[in-house]
Structure 1
Amino acid sequence: MAVDLIVVRPLGLVATVIGTAGFILALPFTLPTGTVGETAKEWIGDPLEYTFDRPLGEFDRCGAERRPCGR
């Protein structure tokens, strides 16, 4: 739990910020192809979920229903 709190969660926050920047840069390419939602989920939603929507110390289950992260 301590490693999750001190190392993994801050790295997840950094990944979310980097994913947001990448998503903004990719917007001109994803708008014409209609993949904005999919790109947003992969680059922003999944890191956000992994960082904020899983119990402390659980690395493979997210949400109240304890489903695999990113699904």
Structure 2
Amino acid sequence: MFPQTGEWAGGEAAFPAAIKALNQINQREDILSGYYLNLSAYDTRVNNNLFFPYLPSYTNQNNMYKST
């Protein structure tokens, strides 16, 4: 959950850093070997009413899966 708009749009800075970290992890065989990490981003606009409806689908997604 990355707030891109709203009173605190901190996700604008955090999202690129998270993408870079995931790419680095996915490229290394010595970290989580055999797995690939995905990142799903939602603009919560710093609003809990927008955040909580996404939570069930976000936590049920396969954001990490074992590669075959």
TM-score by length of 2: 0.49
More helix by share: 1
Q: What is the TM-score when the length of structure 1 is the normalising length? A: 0.48
